[in-house]
Structure 1
Amino acid sequence: MWSVEKVQQNIWRKYVPPDALSEDISEVHGESRNYGFSKKIERIGDDEMSSLDTALTNLCDFIDTWCIPIITMLCCILSICLFYRNKIKRPLELLEQGSRQISGQRLDFQIRYDNKDEMGRLCAEFETMRAKLVQNNRKMWRMLEQERTLRTAIAHDIRSPLAIIKGYQETLKVFIPAGKLDETSLLEIADSCLKQVDRLDQFAESMKKLSKVEEREISPSVIPLAALIEHLEEITRFLNPSTEITCTVSAYGSGEMEADAGIICEVYENLLANALRYARGKTDTVATIKGDYLELCVQDDGEGFKEDVKDAIKAYTHGAAVGKDIHFGLGLYLCDVYCQMHGGYLQLENLPHGGASAKAVFRIK
């Protein structure tokens, strides 16, 4: 505004007499002295100026009137462009790239934007969502793998008793009309068929239990360690009524814990039953509180795990008949599931001096 005013003054000064361009501003000893300061020129009419000076004057009037809105608008546009370039452009590019990666089923990337502003928080939430998707995908693949293994194991375990029953039926079909089977043989065949039917019945019952595992919820309550040890000793006496195998239950530490006693006791029951199935003379159980976790370790003096410990946890992958019991390999699988539901894990290993060790870890706080 000051600049256009100076331009107008210079234009108008051309149409004013020279003696009117200066102004007396002081008197010394009654005598006026002119110091040559320019006098402000009043506006010259358009009809008194040339067409070029008139156009320049009108342009200066326009600039003087509209320079504040124009400069403000230009500064706003500049600030918006700078804000977009410095604050929005980069995180938007990261989010667009991440969206395209997710749409293409590629989750092996990372979004890193270190600013702590709103876009930084949005990128952090997007990265959290991506990590959650990775976790869910891994869980889904594990479930699909478990389902595939389960279907294979079910087909294998059902095929064996059905093949046995089919063989007996074919034997009966061939030899009964010929009268070559006596009553004793018939009873033996009938008894064997009933055993296979019982095996299928137990298999169906185990499948029913397995289908309810994921529906179970953790119900923690405050319980003293001493009370938990009493429950474990009761389970031990129930599972091992004879004195052929020595079972010891001990604890390290004291105090209270916040945990689901039913889950812990069920895991211990499965671990102890598995240890008693293979133990030669003794089992040892030790319960230890370490920080926010309870460690329940069950050891036996048997032959240890013959298969890989990772395979030992899988359901229906090492079913076998031990004595008179039919074993479908669900015990350790259920223990692993319950430990994970309780914020812990199941660890299996073979002991150096022989035997097996199963350690169930539960989060208790």
Structure 2
Amino acid sequence: MAKLVNRLLLKRLNLLQSSILLCILTLLAVLAIITVEFAWAENLRKRFGETDWILPSLVAAVLLTVAAGIVSMAVLLYRWKLKRPLEILKQASEKISANDLSFSISYDSRDEMGELIAVFENMRSQLEKNLKALWRSVEERKQLNAIFAHDLRTPLSVLKGYAEFLETYFPEKKLSEAKVLDLIHTMNLHIVRLENYAEAMNSIQKLEDVPVHRDRMDILPFTAMLNNSAEQMVRQSGKSFVFSIENANAEINLDAHVVMQVFENLVANAARYATHQVNARYVIRGDSMHITVTDDGPGFSEEALDKAALPFYRGDMWDATEHRGLGLYVCKVLSEIHDGSLQVENGPHGGGCVTVSFGL
């Protein structure tokens, strides 16, 4: 019972108070033992008379008692106040050294060691949060790099198509000077777009950080540029492209680079699955622009309808060099940062149908 009371009492005291208490208890115990030793020496003196060995023996006994008291006090202080918290800190340090932060430590004492363990636990917790944040940043950067590589393919394919077109028809004098200049102007726009895209991707840490810069423009010239890119992509797949537009005289206020990136991803996906034809429909409705891209392919499976916009979802396609499962995810994120949304469904007559909106 006395031992339990002492333990409970020592847990409420700090190290200085515990040391003072143990010093007082040790001093009382040592004084009691020395008193007994003096009585013992007096009994020896009465029994054997004045001899030369009694006084040295008494001095030696007193010194041993004092030394034993000091050692006992140090041992008790270590066992009651230091041993357990030091073991906790040692085990925690070993786990941290092994890169294991999935633990927690606590010590039910109000002394300095309890405060030290509480501070150590806060440090471990913060270190775990920072490490998780670092890993998330690394994973987001990996994903961003994959998206960057994925989205570079589309404008490069468009430029390749224009280059092949010029290479085929320009030597035969089948292109007018105005047509050639128009193609060069369009190609230059795509080159500038690639430069801006590369610069933006180099400065952001995740796709959600892509900046949106809206500009006012007429819808017809803008959709004509989109259609030219779509025709190049679809033609390379051996299919045809058809478009329609509603409210053709409207003015729009949007980020052309973001919309082009989303649109080209949608067309690239549709061309991949289409059998013969890819369709695009542009609609200005209220304060938003809606673009619907459909194909005459097999359409989305039930699983794809739920997961198509998730990152790295590829369904049954596993050719990593051609399809990384990022297109619709990119469209979803970019449309949302442009105050819009993305909807994936199957058309009424079959085939995939993806509608994306952009806030104007």
Q: Which one has more relative contact order, counting CA pairs under 8 Å at least 6 apart?
A: 2
Larger Rg: 1
Which structure has more strand as a fraction of its residues? 1
